[in-house]
Structure 1
Amino acid sequence: MPRKSCTECGARSKLHVHHKDRNPANNSTENLVVLCASYHLKLHWHEDRSKRIGALMGQRYAAGKSALVAKPQPRSN
């Protein structure tokens, strides 16, 4: 019988099916878990946090590096 509540908190409304391996084509029962919308959002937010931080730091590094390499422009009076 399919699970009718969130595996984390027991909520019975706004349920989502989460793919543990993030592959939506892998629908094996071992890869699926039922989560409420709140826990599903939190799970993805925490998993993706390091990716977002890494991308942000990469952008800042690239911007800082280009500022160091850029030649000063002569002033026009």
Structure 2
Amino acid sequence: MVKTQQKRSRKHEALIKAFGEPVRQAGGVLATNVHPRDMTLDAAYEHWLVEAKTVGTKAELAVREAIGQVYAYRHFVTAVKD
């Protein structure tokens, strides 16, 4: 297995916190230890995958990267049975 180092900026961490904190305050459960994903949220019987990007003047590249990452994460999705 190849180890990789993940680089996250303070802006990125602030974005994750700003997005997740209101969910947590409303009773949702969030996890940020779900590498390689940025965060997962569980609230109101829903499970959300969060891929966050801070953007500058080249937002299109960040959006493309995020879409590619979310597509690659499809193998993390599992069916939940009632």
Q: TM-score per shorter chain, which class?
A: under 0.3
**Larger Rg over CA atoms:** 1
Q: Which has the higher contact order (CA 8 A, sep 6+)?
A: 1
Q: TM-score, normalised by structure 1?
A: 0.23
